[in-house]
Amino acid sequence: MIDEAMAVISIYRVTSSGEISLMVANLPYSNLQWTRKLSTCGSFSVQLVGDVPVPWPGRYLLVRGDRPEVGLVEKVKYSDDESGEAASMSGRFAECLLAYRSFGPSGAAASGHGWRGAVAAAFGSWPMPDAPEIVLGAGTEGAGSSYTIRADEKTTAMDAVYAVTAAQSAYPTLALDWERGALSLSIVDGLDRTRGQGERPVMVFSLEMATAQATSYSGDYSVSCSKVIAYAKGASEGAEAVSVEVEVPGFDPETMWQASATEDVSSLCSDEPAASEAKDAGLLRAYDHMPALAVDVTVLGSGYGSTWDLADTCEADVPEAGVSCSARIEEVREVVKKEGTTLEVSLGSKAISRVSRALMRLR
């Protein structure tokens, strides 16, 4: 547990025209849970001291003085019984404004220069009209050829955007720009923190190195394969199927058994599929045949946000399980109490299959 002052939180109101105003500053609370995620928007929950401080229902943002993320209040609970009063607020981070937009059978598209430009375009056009203004910040500069994010009737705008950013080991963040009365969009890239690079500090989560208080490991190799045989059939009657072999990323012949899987990727290809289309679609499906790995760590000491952060690729040593691996940080769960702050970190590849399936729908 990290012994430090409790984070200051405030509540802002958003009018139906998107204007933002302060309602409550320095809100008293006893417990704050702040969960950041790579493959979807994060969430929060705060246990209040005293009554609910604002009229409910309402359109409120919860802001921490020490973090850029902004919470959007979606749930309020209150009880008063023999054990006393209890009030709480919870919700998702402001990126969930995209989740409020879904599309019909015709779907939708957002385009820009490169994937960053397309993400910026999506945040500019896909939120509902009563959302606060969103201005562009760091990491949103588009570059390169045109890139299009597509969403269909099964995909919310948020699903479509996170499928693209998570595949790039990056994530969007909406922060409060008080001076401009708007939310500022930034796109943050994950960094390599492993021992194989020399540009920045290395981060190894380890009991022996005193960088972790507790660790747990789960490695399921029952679904892993070495290759995927992907085939696609043309739309015309009697058309021959195009078939290609795709190697599964991360397969290690020294530690894993060879295995093959067959995938029909016709729905991901054109009516007259080429081998290159089948290969691209097969690579997406190949992610579902990687091992399902997860390392959960309770973190000691400092370094959060400087030595390591969400989306960074770090190392984890669990010698009791015979494991020393590098993996991407998929989730950071922060619990803030008056006694101190606890950080729990999840590294692994379990989210990859969700991302790849989302990308399949967006082709």
DSSP per residue over 122-137, as a string? HHHHSS-TTSPPEEE-
Pairing mode, strands 313-318 and 323-337: antiparallel
Structure tokens at 149: 């994010």
| Residue 197, pLDDT above cutoff 50 | yes
CB 353 within 8 A of CB 288: yes
> To 5 degrees, how large is the angle CA 110–CA 312–CA 139?
35
pLDDT tens track for 83-108: 888 999 999 999 999 999 999 888 89
pLDDT per residue as tens digits for the range 103-154: 988 889 999 999 999 999 999 999 999 999 999 999 999 888 889 998 887 7
Q: What is the pLDDT of residue 301?
A: 64
Lowest mean pLDDT among 37-41, 65-69, 217-221, 344-348: 217-221
Q: Which helix (H) or strand (E) holds 356?
A: helix 350-362
pLDDT value at 219 more than 80: yes
pLDDT digits (tens, 9 = 90+) for 232-273: 988 788 788 899 999 998 788 998 999 999 999 887 777 888
pLDDT band at 356 (very low <50, low <70, confident <90, very high): very low
62 and 29 Cβ atoms separated by less than 8 Å: no
For residue 362, the model assigns a pLDDT of 42
Euclidean distance between CA atoms 93 and 43, whole angstroms = 5
14, 28, 61, 80, 192 from 86: Cα distances, Å: 25, 13, 21, 6, 43
Q: What is the mean pLDDT of residues 312-339?
A: 89
- Quick one: pLDDT at residue 357? 41
CA dist., res. 279 & res. 104, Å (int): 29
Structure confidence by residue, pLDDT tens digits, 19-46: 999 999 999 999 999 999 999 999 999 9
For residue 230, give the nearest of 288, 172, 175 by alpha carbon.
288
Rounded Cα–Cα distance for residues 83 and 86 (Å): 9
Phi-psi region of 128 (alpha: psi -120 to 50; beta: other; left: phi over 0): beta
What pLDDT score does 334 carry?
Answer: 95
Question: How far is Cα 328 from Cα 142, in angstroms, rounded to an integer?
Answer: 25
Lowest mean pLDDT of 54-68, 162-176, 345-359, name the range: 345-359
Of 22, 77, 329, which Cα lies nearest the Cα of 190? 329
Name the band, by pLDDT with cuts 50, 70 and 90, for residue 208.
confident
